[in-house]
Amino acid sequence: MSASPNRMPRTADFAAFRDPDLARELIARINALVADRVIYLMEVCGTHTVSIGRYGFRSVMPEGLHLLSGPGCPVCVTANRDIDRAIALARLDGVIIATFGDMMRVPGSSTSLIAEKAAGRDIRVVYSPLDALDIAAQNPAREVVFISVGFETTTPAMAACVLEAAERGLSNFSLFCANKATPAALRAIEDDPQTRIDGFLLPGHVSTITGAAPYRFLVDEFSTPGVITGFEPVDILAGIEMLARMVISGAPDIKNAYPRGAHREGNTVAQRLCAEVFEPCDALWRGLGELPASGLRLREAYAAFDASRRFDIEVEPTVEPRGCRCGDVLRGRIAPGECPLFDRGCTPEHPIGPCMVSSEGSCAASFRFKDR
Amino acid sequence: MCLAVPGAITRIIDASTAEVDMLGATRNISLRLVPEARVGDFVLVHAGFGIQIIDPEEARETIELIREMDELVAEELPAPDGATA
């Protein structure tokens, strides 16, 4: 199979999404459009949180246009109880833990995975869950548990991984699944009387998988508009402008400003794989509490790959960090700088709450970009 | 965490694996979620998996739409509070 020259995509096709002139034009348009209105928009994607901070968009928005960060960081919304469970699994004899790098420093009730690693537990950071399968193949006498967190973007990779483990006959591989579905969090934010949201910047790469349909309830039940948004500066500004237009005209809809990466129907192959391997379950979210059908567990047919069913673990009593207001930050009730611990005891070097640990956490982004 | 980086497929290795060029770095990815991907396609790569083929034509259309959006709907919107229409 060879590439014909006209099929080779050029990076220039995407350069316009970083065009500073177009970005400046959009900023001017947003300012003229919003004028002195008060509008609250929320992004629910950690990658958006970082982009908005990096490009300093808050400082160039109209005074009344507020950009809030919601529960968009999978590490941050993982409940302490689940961190403690992961740590309990790491303490089992003969177990190798594999996980994403972001999980390592998140404090549980009394320790973290990185502290456990320092204490001699076998905990390995991987880029892809497929790397964990290779570790399992190389260590047939050991049990390999992948600690899985993530939203819809990541869940299909986990489903494919379980199917591949079954195909390769890797009976020493299992998954601890704390994956979550984002629409449940949007509903929890909408139901919160303390938070006013006029529109949502919807996560581009979650939508790559799910398509637009799961967000329809925002319009149908809450009359709140949403725009599926990409990650380059022009993507984000266009998403903000489209949202502001719908808020002002009072015509809410779910629009797609990222059609190059997210199709209306999503990735149906990925959706099928997820449905084959996982079923919805209730899940505990930091800050949002227990949300119905917002988590995923392995179906009975794949129970052999479910670490929760496979291992009997003793989990320490849950202790929440004192004074930490990550829960309120995740709900958009307060800005990171309004937490009494922010930069006063809680910093990226010495994080107390998960929103300061993860590079995509609202507090870490706010700290790093001095965007408070 | 939902970061996905575009990569260009340079070689199909087997039914479910491809080699991609990601901004100069070469690595293998799984095509299990994008089985229709071919050499020359640009794919979004997340956690070692291609998750979507990016359509350059859609990219061009989006930019055109953004450039024109201002004129398209300006008249439909109510004037800002206190401003004269």
Q: What pLDDT is recorded for position A9?
A: 47
Task: Return the CATH number of B5-76, one of 3.40.50.920, 2.30.30.140, 3.40.50.300, 3.40.50.720.
Answer: 2.30.30.140
Q: What pLDDT is recorded for position A131?
A: 96
Mean pLDDT of the A318-333 span: 91
Residues of A in contact with B48 (CB under 8 A): 127-131, 157
B71: confidence class by pLDDT, cuts 50, 70, 90:
low
CA distance B19 to A37: 50
Q: Which CATH class name applies to A1-372?
A: alpha beta
pLDDT in tens, A213-230: 999 999 999 999 999 999
From the list A226, A10, A13, A243, the residue with the least C-alpha distance to B58 is A13
Mean pLDDT of the A311-339 span: 92
Is this model's pTM higher than 0.95 or not?
A: no
φ, ψ of residue A26 in degrees (nearest 5): -65, -40
pLDDT in tens, A67-108: 999 999 999 999 999 999 999 999 999 999 999 998 999 999
pLDDT in tens, A271-293: 999 999 999 999 999 989 999 99
Is the per-residue pLDDT at A2 higher than 50?
A: no
Name which of A26, A205, A360 is nearest B46 (Cβ-Cβ).
A205
pLDDT in tens, A51-61: 999 999 999 99
Contact between residue B41 and residue B31 where contact means Cβ atoms under 8 Å apart: no
Percent residues over pLDDT 90 in chain A:
90
Name which of B10, B40, B52 is nearest A208 (Cβ-Cβ).
B52
A5: confidence class by pLDDT, cuts 50, 70, 90:
very low
Asked if the C-beta of B5 comes within 8 angstroms of chain A's C-beta atoms, the answer is no
Asked if the C-beta of A98 comes within 8 angstroms of chain B's C-beta atoms, the answer is no
Is the per-residue pLDDT at A1 higher than 50?
A: no
Residues of B in contact with A269 (CB under 8 A): 33-35
A294: confidence class by pLDDT, cuts 50, 70, 90:
very high
**Domain parsing of chain B, residue ranges:** 5-76
B2: confidence class by pLDDT, cuts 50, 70, 90:
confident
Tokens representing residue A160 in the block: 């494919």
ipTM of the modeled complex: 0.91
pLDDT in tens, B49-61: 999 999 888 888 9
Residues of B in contact with A150 (CB under 8 A): 1-2, 47
The torsion angle over the Cα atoms of residues A69, A75, A78 and A79, rounded to 10 degrees, is -90
Contact between residue A225 and residue A362 where contact means Cβ atoms under 8 Å apart: no
Mean pLDDT of the A160-176 span: 97
The residue in chain A having the minimum alpha-carbon distance to the alpha carbon of residue B82 is A36
